[in-house]
Amino acid sequence: MKKVILFGFASLLFVACGNDSTQKNGPLPYLGENIITDKGDTTYYKIPAFGFVDQDSSWITNESVADKIYVTDFFFTSCLSICRKMKQQMLKVHEVYGKDEEIMLLSHTIDPNYDTVEVLKEYADDLDLMSNQWRFLTGDKDSIYAMGARYFVAANEDPNSPDGFYHTDVFTLVDKERRVRGVYHGTDSLDVKRLIVDIERLKKEYEPQNP
């Protein structure tokens, strides 16, 4: 009996220290409602076409992210709660992929009335970005909120909040076919490390297969 308890204790330690390697291999999941047709084909959930204006007054659309892996979040510049932490974490992603042409970052403001192109420009400049790979988007308020829902982000006006809005801290990972491949807590540094690991996995999916 004693031996069994000891063995159980030791094996527990191994489980606690070990990594679950099965989660680190193979393709990333396809999130959202995927439809399987009668023939057995799968139609994956896909981000719809969109169009917003960035901090340099450029028009950023689904065409701009064609053939790109991209990460989105939703924020606003006058936010006093979680936004700065999210930006600190998104900066980590930018520091890894700022020079990588395959990757884009799209931050949407949920306060487009205040966050004009000029305000977003100043905000982006103050982050000392190393490239224009990170775009800060503004546009029609309702379209932004609708896109938020598509990226699994809850964002809206909130008269009960001290700064007037609520939004979740979600970072959404989207592949080159605009399919959602992961969602992450943008205020949690461990989860953002997971995002970077997942971007690497996703990049591998697009590498030519070895014969």
Task: Annotate each residue in 105-124 with x if it binds other proteins (CB under 8 A) or - if it does not, as one string.
Answer: ------------------x-
Residues 6+ apart with CB under 8 A from 138: 52, 53, 54, 108, 109, 112, 115, 116, 117, 120, 144
Interactions with other proteins, residue window 12-31 (CB under 8 A): 13
User: In 3-state terms, the chain is what percent helix, strand and coil (to 5)?
Assistant: 35, 20, 45
Q: Which of the stretches 82-90, 98-106, 130-138, 190-198 binds other proteins when contact is defined by CB under 8 A?
A: 82-90
The residue count for binding other proteins (CB under 8 A) is 19
Which DSSP string do the residues of 68-133 spell out, in sequence order?
Answer: -EEEEEEE-TT--SSHHHHHHHHHHHHHHHTT-TTEEEEEEES-TTT--HHHHHHHHHHTT-SSTT
Nearest CB to other proteins, comparing residues 31 and 91: 91
Amino acid in the structure at residue 67: D
**Dihedral sign for Cα atoms in the order 39, 33, 192, 113:** positive
Q: Report, in Å, the least distance between residue 80 CB and other proteins.
A: 6
Nearest CB to other proteins, comparing residues 67 and 126: 126
Nearest CB to other proteins, comparing residues 94 and 181: 94
The verdict on 39 binding other proteins (CB under 8 A) reads no
The verdict on 56 binding other proteins (CB under 8 A) reads no
Binding site for other proteins (CB under 8 A): 2-3, 6, 9-10, 13, 80-82, 84-85, 87-88, 91, 123, 125-128
